[in-house]
Structure 1
C-alpha cells in the first residue's frame, strides 16, 4: 500500500493520527533552547505530528514553535497532532488533570490530541523527575494503581482537555490490565515503545493489533546518542549492511529504510533529530515502497536488542522489561 505524507492511521476511538511523528526529546548534550528551531523546521518540512513529554523539559520551547507556525500560516491548529506524556511523579489520580493543564499552559494550547502514561513505573510525587532517598535510590511508589491513573486520564478526555489517551512502555500484561479494568470507558488507542529492526516487537505488535491498539515506535533509528543511559558497545543499527543494501536499491539512506519498514507494517514511527538535514531526510519516505522480500530481510535483523533499558527503574515491580514482551 502506498502511503503519502497526508496519510493517517485510524485509532480505535475514531480519531486519526498522522503516520509519522517528530520526536522532540533533547539528548543531554543538546540545549533545550534548540527544541524551538528544530520543531519549527519539522513543521515546515511537513511533519504534522509532534511528540513531546513533560519529562523532556522543553514544552515551552516546542509550544512557541507550534504557535509561530500557526501564526505565520504554515499550519492550522487542527492540522497538527500533539502528543504529550504523563510523567511518573504524577500518578496520583488527583495530580493527573492539574499536570495536564500545566503542560497545556506551557504549550499555549487548549487541548492535546493524545496523552500517554509515559511509564508504568510510579515515583513518589515531588519536584524532581526521579526523586531519590538519602542513599541515592529512587523513591518508588509501589502502591500506585495504574487503573486509577487511567480513570483520571479518561476524565481528562471526557472534559475535552485531550482527544485521545494511550500508553507508553507498557508490556502485554500491563496493557491487558488496563483493557480488563472493570468499568473501562475508553480503550488505550496506542502503546508507544522502543521498536526498530533490531527489536521489531513482533509479538507485542501482534497482540496490540488483535485489540485494535496502534503500536507507536520510538528509537526507530537506534539510540546511541544517549551516552549516559545507553550502552555504547551495542551495535549501531544504521551501520547494518542489510539496511545499506536495501537503501542502495532505492537511492535511500539506511534511516529511510528503517522508517519506511515501520510504516508498512502498520507501526507509527517517531523520528527524532536536531540536525536540520536529518530532519528533512527522515521525512523522505513517501516516494518508494519496500517489497515483501525487503520486509522479510529486515524482519530477519531482529536480535531482541533493547537500547533503552533504564536500569534505574528496574527494581520497581512494574518495570516493564522483566516480561518477555
Structure 2
C-alpha cells in the first residue's frame, strides 16, 4: 500500500472517531439543558400523568445510554426520529423537516462557493501581480475590513443600504419551491453577498501570499529572462506550484461556509437548516436540534478531511513529517 493511500485511510478513520466523539458531546449537551422538555412543550398546567405519558411516548424515560445508541443507530439508517412538535395522530419526522431545509442550505453554500472561490483566486493573483500598487492596497484594505467585521454586521449593513434605503432588494429571503427562478435569485442576492464577503478575504490573501512566495523562485526568474509575459508567468508557472496552500484554504473555508450559514440564515430568515436549528432551540425540539448539529458537525469534519487530503496529495513532504 502506498504512503498516500495509507495516510488517507488513517485520516478517514480519525475523522470517524472525531465524529463519534462529537455525537457524544452533542447528545450530552442537549440532554443536560436545564428544564423539563415535556413540561416546556405541554405547558405548566399539564398533569404528572400527562407528562409521564408524553415522556414515555418520546422515549425520554429511557436511560441516556439507550437513547444515545438508539439515536446514533437511527441516524446511520436515515431515521432521525419524530419532532417533539408532532401531534399524536400526525407525526412529523425529523428527516422530512431537515431534508428540504438542508437542500436550501446546500444551494446557498454552493452558489456562494461558485462566486467566491474564482473571484478570490483572481483577486489574489492580480494583487500579487500588481503588488504595491493602488489596486493591491485597496484590495488588501477591503479584505482586512471584511475579516475584522462579523457576518451579521455585514448583513445588516447590506440590508440598510440595499434594502431599506435604496429599496433594490427585499430584506427577507424567504424562498420557497413555488416561486420563479428570477424571484429566487433576487431573494438570494443579500445572503450570498454576505457569505461571499465573509470568505473571499481569506482565500484571496492566501492566494496572494502563495503567489508572491513562488515568484521569488529561480525558475520564475528564468521564465522572465526568456521573455514570458507576466500573465504567462503567473498562470503557467506560479499558480500550479502555489496550488497546495490555495486548495487547502479553499476547502477549509468551504467547511466554514457550511457551518457559518446559521447566522446569515437567521438574519435573512432564509429557510435553511441553520434557521431550522435556531427555531428548534427556541421551541426546545430536541430531535431536530440534535439532527441539525450532527449534520453540521459531519459536514465540517468531512470538508476538513478533504482539505487535509488535498494538502497531503499536493505536497508529498507531508507524507514524511520526520
TM-score in same-fold range (> 0.5): no
Q: Give the TM-score normalised by structure 2.
A: 0.23
Larger CA Rg, structure 1 vs 2: 2
Q: Give the TM-score normalised by structure 1.
A: 0.23
| Bigger proportion of residues as strand | 1
| Bigger proportion of residues as helix | 2
